[in-house]
Chain A
C-alpha cells in the first residue's frame, strides 16, 4: 500500500517535525535533570520567542536571522529572570517538597505569561507566511520549503551546540555534575545558584528559538506554547524523565510516529495513536524507552 517513495517522503516529514520536538524536549529534560523542576511553563518561552520574532521580523522588518537571535536573547533573559525571581528564592526558603512546589510555580508562571501576552498583544494570530522564499525539491519529487529546512538546521545546530557545551566546557561539565550529584558538586566548589540560573536560561533560550523559527507554521498567540509543551513532555516521558541524551532520538521518534499515524489514520487520530503507543510503552517499560532503574544523565 505504501511505496518506498511515499515512505521516504513521510520519513523526511517526520524527521523535520522531530527536530523541533527534540529541541524543545532537550530543554525540558535539562531543567528536570539538573534542577528537578517539572517544567510546565516551557511552552510560554516558546510563545515569547514567537512574539519576539514576529515583532522584530514583521513589524521592524529586520532580517530573519536577527529575528531568531533576538528571540533567543529574549528567551535567555526571561529564563534567567524567572529563575532569579522565583526558583532561587524558593530554594533558599524551602527545599522540601521541591518537585511539587516547583511544579505549581511553573503552572502559575504559565498562566501569568499567557495572560500577560493576551493583555499586551491581544488574542489575534500574529504570523508570517515565511522567512525565506522558495523550496527545495528532493529526488523523490517532494518539495520542502526553504523555511522548513532552515528551521530544521537551526534545531540541529542548537542541539549540537548544547551537546558541545555540556561535554567540552568547564561550565557544561559543572552542569552535568550538578545533575549527577548535587552534594558532590558543592564539595568541588560549584556554585549551585549560578548553575541553576544558567540551566534555566539555556532551556528557555532553546524554547524561544523553537518558537521563533516555527513562526511561519504556528503564528504567535497567547496559548501557542501549549502544543509544543505537551509534545515535549510526551517525548520526555517516552524516553524517561531526566534522560537528556534520550530526548533527541525521542523527538525524532515522536515526529515520525505522528507523521505516519497522520498518514495512515487521518488527522483526527494522530494524537490518539501516539498517546496509545506511549501508554503501551510505559506499561512495559515504566521508566521510559531508554530509562534505567536509576534516573540519571548517563552519557549526557
Chain B
C-alpha cells in the first residue's frame, strides 16, 4: 500500500534520512523504532508532505506522492497525527472534527465519519461544544486522532501518541489504535514506548542515525533480548 524507496530527507541543509526504504501492507500496523533523533518523525513528516524529500520516491496505492504539498497528500486519504497535535485551540471540539473532514464534500459521509469518531471517542461527543484549547492533554490527543479519522483515511501516520500521557491514558490510546486496526485501517506508528509498541504492531523497522538498520516481525524483536538491548535501549521502564 505504501512504499518508500531510497528516501533522503531533512531540514534545509541538514539531511536527516539516508537511503530509507520501507513498505507498509494494507491492514498492517508497522512501527518505527529508534532513539531520539534517529529520524522517525522525519519519515512521517516527509510522507505527509510537510517536508520535501531530497531524493527517493514514495508511492501510495499506485500513485507517486513524494513532493506533493501536504494538503494534497491529506486528500489522498493519508492522515498524519503529529506529536504536537496542531489542533485549532480557539475552535470547538466539533468544529475541529468537522475540519478534519474538510476534503469530504458529501454531508452524509461527514455525518458517518462523525458518528464513527464519536463511537470510538465518546468523550469527544460529550465535549463537542468545548474549545479544543481547554481540553486536557489526553483529550487533546484523542481529538487529534479523531480529527485525523474524520477524513476516512486508508493510512494513519501516528507520531508518539502516548507522549506526555499518564499510563492509563496511554494504554487507552494503544487500545484505540488496536481497535482501529481491527476496523481495517493501516497504521504506521512512531513510539518511544517500545515494549507496548512491539506488542501491538505486526512489523517494525529500527532506525539509527537516519538509516534503517533492522527490520522484522515485532514478536521476534520482543523475544530477542539482544535486539532490545542493542538498538532500543534496555526497554522503557
| Stretch of A35-43, A53-61, A143-151, A178-186 contacting B (4+ beta carbons < 8 Å) | A178-186
* Most chain B beta-carbon contacts within 10 A, residue among A185, A188, A192, A298: A188
Interface residue? A91 (CB, 8 A): no
The interface size bin for chain B is 20 to 34
- Contact residues in A for B74 (Cβ distance below 8 Å): 186-189
Would you call A296 and B90 a contact (CB within 8 A)? yes
Would you call A189 and B90 a contact (CB within 8 A)? no
- Contact residues in A for B205 (Cβ distance below 8 Å): none
Please give the distance in Å from B95's CB to the nearest CB on chain A: 6
Complex-state Cα separation, A186 to B98, whole angstroms: 14
- Contact residues in A for B147 (Cβ distance below 8 Å): 188
Interface residue? B42 (CB, 8 A): no
- Contact residues in A for B100 (Cβ distance below 8 Å): 188
Please give the distance in Å from B105's CB to the nearest CB on chain A: 9
Would you call A170 and B102 a contact (CB within 8 A)? yes
- Contact residues in B for A271 (Cβ distance below 8 Å): none
Interface residue? A299 (CB, 8 A): yes
Please give the distance in Å from B142's CB to the nearest CB on chain A: 15
Would you call A173 and B91 a contact (CB within 8 A)? yes
Complex-state Cα separation, A94 to B178, whole angstroms: 42
Partner pick for B102 among A176, A188, A297, CB 8 A cutoff? A188
Beyond A170-B102, A173-B99, A174-B99, whether A187 also contacts B86 by CB under 8 A is yes
Interface residue? A177 (CB, 8 A): yes
Interface residue? B43 (CB, 8 A): no
Interface residue? B200 (CB, 8 A): no
Q: Interface readout for A260-300 with B: 1 if CB under 8 Å, 0 if not?
A: 00000000000000000000000000000000000011111
Would you call B82 and A298 a contact (CB within 8 A)? no
Interface residue? A128 (CB, 8 A): no
Complex-state Cα separation, A296 to B132, whole angstroms: 13
Complex-state Cα separation, A192 to B148, whole angstroms: 18
Please give the distance in Å from B103's CB to the nearest CB on chain A: 4
Complex-state Cα separation, A176 to B99, whole angstroms: 10
Complex-state Cα separation, A180 to B82, whole angstroms: 16
Complex-state Cα separation, A59 to B110, whole angstroms: 51
Would you call A298 and B98 a contact (CB within 8 A)? no
Q: Which residue of A lies closest to B90 (CB)?
A: A298
Would you call B70 and A181 a contact (CB within 8 A)? no
- Contact residues in B for A173 (Cβ distance below 8 Å): 91, 95, 98-99
Complex-state Cα separation, A174 to B91, whole angstroms: 11
Complex-state Cα separation, A185 to B100, whole angstroms: 9
* Most chain B beta-carbon contacts within 10 A, residue among A176, A181, A184, A189: A189
Interface set, chain B 66-113, CB cutoff 8 A to A:
69-72, 74-75, 79-80, 82, 85-91, 95, 98-103
Q: Interface readout for B54-75 with A: 1 if CB under 8 Å, 0 if not?
A: 0000000000000001111011
Complex-state Cα separation, A186 to B72, whole angstroms: 9
Please give the distance in Å from A12's CB to the nearest CB on chain B: 34
Beyond A177-B88, A180-B91, whether A186 also contacts B99 by CB under 8 A is no
Please give the distance in Å from B188's CB to the nearest CB on chain A: 15
Interface residue? B48 (CB, 8 A): yes
Would you call A183 and B82 a contact (CB within 8 A)? yes
Partner pick for A186 among B71, B90, B151, CB 8 A cutoff? B71
Please give the distance in Å from A97's CB to the nearest CB on chain B: 14
Beyond A173-B95, A188-B99, whether A180 also contacts B71 by CB under 8 A is no
A sample of 8 more A-B contacts (CB under 8 A), given A174-B102, A188-B151, A192-B71, is A173-B98, A183-B86, A187-B148, A188-B102, A188-B147, A188-B150, A189-B103, A189-B151
Top 3 A-B residue pairs of the complex, sorted by shortest distance between their CB atoms = A184-B86, A189-B103, A189-B74
